[in-house]
Amino acid sequence: NAGVTQTPKFQVLKTGQSMTLQCAQDMNHEYMSWYRQDPGMGLRLIHYSVGAGITDQGEVPNGYNVSRSTTEDFPLRLLSAAPSQTSVYFCASSYKATRSSQETQYFGPGTRLLVL
Amino acid sequence: TQLLEQSPQFLSIQEGENLTVYCNSSSVFSSLQWYRQEPGEGPVLLVTVVTGGEVKKLKRLTFQFGDARKDSSLHITAAQPGDTGLYLCAYFGSNTGNQFYFGTGTSLTVIP
């Protein structure tokens, strides 16, 4: 198993450009999520999905869209990039949609995004 | 939601030294998780502690959950360069959408 994969690893955008960050998992996990990591802020949840066709907002959803058409894929879209979206983005997945405080989340390697 | 305070924020030590990092809150948690994030990688779960006073060991790493379930510590014995990374604690918010919330982390550098 490849686990959780993310592409691209690095991306530079100009303000106003759009792009899609890709995330895929091959573990048949029901739950997938997107976090952003900023210095001094820790990991903050952007959007999540409990299964194909079901998505919901996390703590910091503004400026981002998601969709979940398959169990495996969970892309994150930036419609009009802003410098405040400069960050490292992590995709994560876990086995069950029914969350548990003892579950294991598996993280991808991250996408480093710079918005100029 | 930043209910978790981690300290110290940065720590640089020599190989072979011992260290302790802390994860504190004024709130009571049903459990806490510890992750290690190596440079350029995503976080990896190390342990989940669920019972007040619980101690779990993972080789040279010892994790403790406070008796009142408000805090946790991670002690590393005889640190090695491979321990270098960002150590994150996280709690599960069952009252706030069943999501995990992370502290800001302790960045550890072990110098050979």
Q: CB B42 to CB A108 under 8 A? A: yes
The pLDDT assigned to A88 comes to: 97
Query: Would the pLDDT of A110 be above 60?
Result: yes
Q: Which of B40, B50, B105 sits opposite A102 (nearest CB)?
A: B50
Q: How many other C-beta atoms are found inside a 10 Å radius of the C-beta of residue B31?
A: 18
The pLDDT assigned to A51 comes to: 92
Instruction: Encode pLDDT of A58-96 as tens digits.
Output: 999 999 999 999 999 999 999 999 999 999 999 999 987
Could you give the percent of chain A with pLDDT greater than 70? 98
Q: CB A90 to CB B30 under 8 A? A: no
The pLDDT assigned to A109 comes to: 97
Could you give the percent of chain A with pLDDT greater than 90? 84
pLDDT band at A97 (very low <50, low <70, confident <90, very high): low
Q: CB A102 to CB B2 under 8 A? A: no
CA distance, residue B16 to nearest chain A CA (Å): 28
The pLDDT assigned to A79 comes to: 92
The three-state secondary structure class of B83 is: helix
The pLDDT assigned to B94 comes to: 72
Q: Which of A41, A101, A102 sits opposite B104 (nearest CB)?
A: A41
* Phi and psi angles of residue A84, each rounded to the nearest 5 degrees, phi first: -65, -10
Q: Which of B31, B48, B104 sits opposite A42 (nearest CB)?
A: B104
Q: Measured in Å, how far apart are chain B's first and last C-alpha atoms?
A: 37
Residues in B touching A4 (Cβ below 8 Å): 42
Alpha carbons B54 and B66: distance in angstroms, whole number? 7
Alpha carbons B6 and B22: distance in angstroms, whole number? 5
Residue numbers in chain B where pLDDT is lower than 50: none
The three-state secondary structure class of B72 is: strand
- Residue of A9, A43, A55 best to disrupt the B interface, most CBs of B under 10 A: A43
